[in-house]
């Protein structure tokens, strides 16, 4: 599939190099490309330079072409007048516009930071599952996922697709399985984002451990794709989206897993909790203690199925994450371009340049390779084939 | 007031010693009582032993006499039949029962761990502001606060009162000011707990920065008492109370402060965010970055009014808290007996024995004294008089 997608690509720019053989090409670029910027390299003085791929498992399309946002606005404006809802074909964006939408941000930053590629999904805050009805959500999900597919197809070196699901409050997640299957089997996506609160901050649906969600888990297991548990925008003014709702969604989901037998019913289901796991690693002792008090299995059992990303935007946070969570359960990520865009005046570097923190952390070479790529290849089994890598490497 | 309360106390047990002159007595007990257990002392080898008081700013009455819980059950059973609601006088608990309710847990653990006293409030999960109506909440708050007053009066060496407020979803916090004033001016309480979500996990009231809350902030400023921002039980099955709702409440409140001008309007208002600040210190870089992106003042400005406690139940979490949050903004606490009751198999000590973590952390003697007592005396100005200490000490 990727080969077919790559076929029409002949542009000379770096971001359009065909993926097949890409990793071999990365290796040929030498240590500079693989270990990041000179400053980051300086932080790793005395260590073996890491020369493998760096997979950012958490990237959203936050730089959509204006036409895509305009399409969404038209759709929302027509919520009470479906006859005027735009069709998918009404969205017209050229290949050049798609390339340009990521060239100066995501791809530039990937190059600067030494990130090989990102698992790329629609803007999380834009999913807006609480807006309109199930049809609204489905139409928007198809448009959003198709646009991700175009990004991935045009720039296969830099992006691999992860889909948005057409969730709707009060509607069975069974409703999402067809779009998930389309994205995985037809578009070549390797995972999905699962919103634990489609209501947007009112938390009106059942917890993720409820049988309400089982049709989705069944399909994910069948397709062997993991899910990132990621809320969307907040429609509750108590919750700032990226400052509260995101963190709360992460923390809430983890505790739902602690208190349930979800993974007994789905032993091969894999879920990634983003943003470094919300409050969880910071309170790892609390969660170990709660599990013990509640006569639940130790957290280590949960870690057969649950993973955390590295979207924690300062060194002490990353250090804590890497200290308390086993290295097999941490996937490199930056959510770039995402929640925090500025430069940290304390370091002079971007807050979301998480690779710098991981580089500076006390990690063995083996564990660093796991965090950068090995774990992602294990958690997203469909990813290896896309990278033209044997499943066992690195 | 304390002197009067102390007058009838003549029992010989340690927990009933009159408070007046208590701190001088603590000093006379020597280093053992002040620095904790032998194991904790071992952790501090090479440091100047801390000989000042250790104030636990976060204790709840989680060991209520059964009659108190029975009273609450009768009240709830009569919600739809107010004629059968019990009167406050229907609750009968002897002084011995009150003493016994804390003797074998809180006081025993205070002694074992080297904690001088706790700021003591009704069980957080028991506040149940979402149950019944405003009258239900007021009656229960009065009963609960009066019981705290009995604990404090009987054991003034060990406890200082903090009140529950009669909050109710959709009802103005103005409704809480009379009970707050009674508790502070008549019962001698030094602070209050403020539930940012009286709905119990539905988050249906406005954020803490909304003018809805201003009558309460005005009264707190007038009385010069701080508030601990603390949710109660969860009535939303998505949220485990102590594993999700508590953390989410903390994180949510902080971001409400980041995005508002609340402390411009109330420059002397002081709010403590418990449980180590929820997710906030772990994501300190994220919050610094969000404040910057949102053109809000730096977090350091917020720290004129916002404090965090040390209810973080493992060493790496406490280490992170003490590293990223200035020592002037951290108040020692354990929430003992509270959310986590077990022994950590990795350390052999109680998860909630937070004094061990603070002892083992890299803190200067000056900063340790602030965390143990100095900050609490500053944030709770009415506390110093109760301890028979000059305001400038320690």
Strand order in the sheet with B306-309: B55-61, B117-122, B159-163, B191-194, B227-229, B271-273, B306-309, B330-331
Integer-rounded Cα radius of gyration of chain B: 20
Select from A207, A251, A317 the Cβ nearest to the Cβ of B247. Answer: A251
Q: Each residue of B234-249: pLDDT tens digit? A: 999 999 999 999 999 9
Q: At what angle do helices B95-102 and B134-154 cross, to 10 degrees?
A: 80
Interval A66-90 mean pLDDT:
95
ipTM: 0.90
Handedness of CA A124, A58, A209, B311 (dihedral sign): negative
Residues of chain B with pLDDT under 50: 1-43, 389-394
Burial class (CB in 10 A: 0-12, 13-18, 19+), A66: exposed
On the question of pLDDT at A10 being above 70, the answer is no
Is B203's CB within 8 Å of A206's CB?
Answer: no
What is the distance between the alpha carbons of residues A305 and B205, in angstroms, rounded to a whole number? 36
- Could you check whether the bond before residue B129 is cis, i.e. omega within 30 degrees of 0? no
pLDDT value for A49: 87
What is the distance between the alpha carbons of residues A275 and A113, in angstroms, rounded to a whole number? 19
Judged by average pLDDT, the poorest of A8-22, A305-319, B101-115, B213-227 is A8-22
Q: For residue A312, what are its two tokens?
A: 């924690």
On the question of pLDDT at A182 being above 60, the answer is yes
Handedness of CA A57, A63, A67, A73 (dihedral sign): positive
Report which of residues A14 and B184 the model is more confident about: B184
On the question of pLDDT at A371 being above 50, the answer is yes
pLDDT value for A45: 57
Is A312's CB within 8 Å of B286's CB?
Answer: yes
B248/chain A closest Cα distance in angstroms: 5
What is the distance between the alpha carbons of residues A112 and A38, in angstroms, rounded to a whole number? 10
Strand partners, B60: B121
pLDDT value for B44: 53
pLDDT value for B45: 56
Find, in chain A, the residue whose alpha carbon is nearest to that of B282: A317
Strands (E), A220-262: 227-229
pLDDT value for B49: 87
Using CA atoms of B335, B340, B341, B347 in order, give the dihedral in degrees to the nearest 10.
-100
Q: For residue A167, what are its two tokens?
A: 């969730």
Contact present, B344 and A289 (Cβ < 8 Å): yes
Is A282's CB within 8 Å of B324's CB?
Answer: no
Contact present, A206 and A196 (Cβ < 8 Å): no
What is the distance between the alpha carbons of residues B250 and A256, in angstroms, rounded to a whole number? 18
pLDDT value for A387: 85
Select from A247, A290, A320 the Cβ nearest to the Cβ of B243. Answer: A290
pTM of the predicted structure, to 2 decimals: 0.90
What is the distance between the alpha carbons of residues B238 and B236, in angstroms, rounded to a whole number? 5
Is B316's CB within 8 Å of A339's CB?
Answer: no
Longest dimension (CA), chain B: 65
A311/chain B closest Cα distance in angstroms: 9
What is the distance between the alpha carbons of residues A56 and B132, in angstroms, rounded to a whole number? 49
On the question of pLDDT at A27 being above 50, the answer is no
B342/chain A closest Cα distance in angstroms: 6
Catalytic residue IDs of A: 335
Spacing of C-alpha A75 from chain mean position: 25
Select from A236, A279, A317 the Cβ nearest to the Cβ of B247. Answer: A279
Is B316's CB within 8 Å of A293's CB?
Answer: no
Judged by average pLDDT, the poorest of A7-21, A253-267, B103-117 is A7-21
pLDDT value for A284: 98
Strands B306-309, B330-331: parallel, antiparallel or unpaired by DSSP?
A: parallel
Is A286's CB within 8 Å of B259's CB?
Answer: no
pLDDT value for B82: 87
Residues in chain A within 8 Å Cβ distance of B256: 238, 240, 244
B150/chain A closest Cα distance in angstroms: 30
Q: Output b/e per residue, A184-197; b: 16+ Cβ within 10 A.
A: beebbbbbbbbbbb
Catalytic residue IDs of B: 335
Which residues contact residue B392 at a Cβ distance below 8 angstroms, ignoring those fewer than 6 apart? Answer: none
Q: Each residue of A120-163: pLDDT tens digit? A: 999 999 999 999 999 999 999 999 999 999 999 999 999 999 99
What is the distance between the alpha carbons of residues B207 and B223, in angstroms, rounded to a whole number? 23
* CA angle in degrees (0–180, nearest 5) for A212-A214-A219: 135
Select from A207, A276, A285 the Cβ nearest to the Cβ of B344. Answer: A285
Find, in chain A, the residue whose alpha carbon is nearest to that of B238: A207
Q: What value does the mean pLDDT of chain A take?
A: 89
Q: For residue B29, what are its two tokens?
A: 């007990």
Residues in chain B within 8 Å Cβ distance of A251: 243-244, 247-248, 251, 278-279
Q: At what angle do helices B134-154 and B66-77 cross, to 10 degrees?
A: 170
Residues in chain B within 8 Å Cβ distance of A255: 239-240, 243-244
Question: Residue A343 in 3-state DSSP?
Answer: strand
What is the distance between the alpha carbons of residues A335 and B119, in angstroms, rounded to a whole number? 41
Contact present, A369 and A394 (Cβ < 8 Å): yes
A13/chain B closest Cα distance in angstroms: 32
């Amino acid at each position: 599939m990727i080969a077919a997608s790559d076929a029409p690509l002949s542009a000379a720019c770096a971001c359009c190099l065909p993926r097949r053989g890409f990793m071999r090409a990365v290796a040929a670029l030498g240590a500079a490309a693989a270990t990041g910027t000179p400053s980051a390299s300086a932080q790793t003085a005395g260590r073996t330079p890491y020369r493998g791929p760096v997979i950012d498992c958490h990237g959203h399309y936050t730089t959509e072409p204006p036409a895509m946002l305009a399409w969404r606005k038209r759709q929302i404006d027509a919520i009470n007048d479906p006859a005027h809802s735009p069709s998918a074909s009404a969205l017209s964006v050229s290949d050049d516009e798609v390339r340009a939408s990521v060239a100066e941000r995501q791809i530039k930053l990937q190059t600067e930071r030494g990130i090989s590629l990102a698992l790329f999904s629609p803007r999380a805050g834009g999913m807006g599952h609480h807006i309109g009805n199930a049809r609204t959500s489905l139409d928007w999900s198809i448009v959003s996922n198709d646009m991700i597919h175009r990004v991935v197809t045009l720039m296969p070196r830099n992006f691999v697709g992860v889909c948005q699901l057409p969730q709707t409050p009060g509607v069975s997640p069974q409703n999402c399985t067809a779009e998930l299957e389309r994205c995985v089997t037809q578009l070549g996506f390797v995972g999905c984002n699962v919103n634990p609160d489609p209501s947007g901050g009112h938390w009106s649906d059942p917890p993720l451990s409820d049988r309400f969600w089982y049709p989705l888990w069944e399909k994910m297991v069948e397709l062997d794709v993991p899910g990132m548990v990621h809320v969307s925008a907040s429609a509750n003014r108590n919750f700032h989206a990226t400052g509260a709702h995101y963190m709360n969604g992460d923390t809430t989901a983890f505790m739902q897993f602690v208190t349930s037998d979800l993974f007994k019913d789905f032993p091969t289901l894999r879920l990634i909790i983003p943003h470094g796991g919300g409050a969880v690693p910071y309170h790892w002792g609390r969660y170990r203690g709660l599990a013990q008090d509640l006569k639940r299995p130790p957290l280590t059992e949960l870690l057969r199925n649950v993973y955390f990303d590295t979207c924690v935007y300062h060194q002490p946070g990353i250090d804590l994450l890497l200290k308390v969570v086993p290295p097999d359960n941490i996937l490199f990520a930056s959510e770039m371009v995402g929640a925090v865009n500025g430069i940290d005046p304390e370091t002079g570097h971007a807050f979301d340049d998480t690779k710098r923190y991981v580089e500076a952390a006390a990690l063995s070479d083996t564990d660093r390779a796991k965090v950068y790529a090995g774990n992602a290849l294990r958690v997203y089994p469909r990813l290896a084939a896309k990278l033209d890598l044997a499943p066992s490497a690195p």
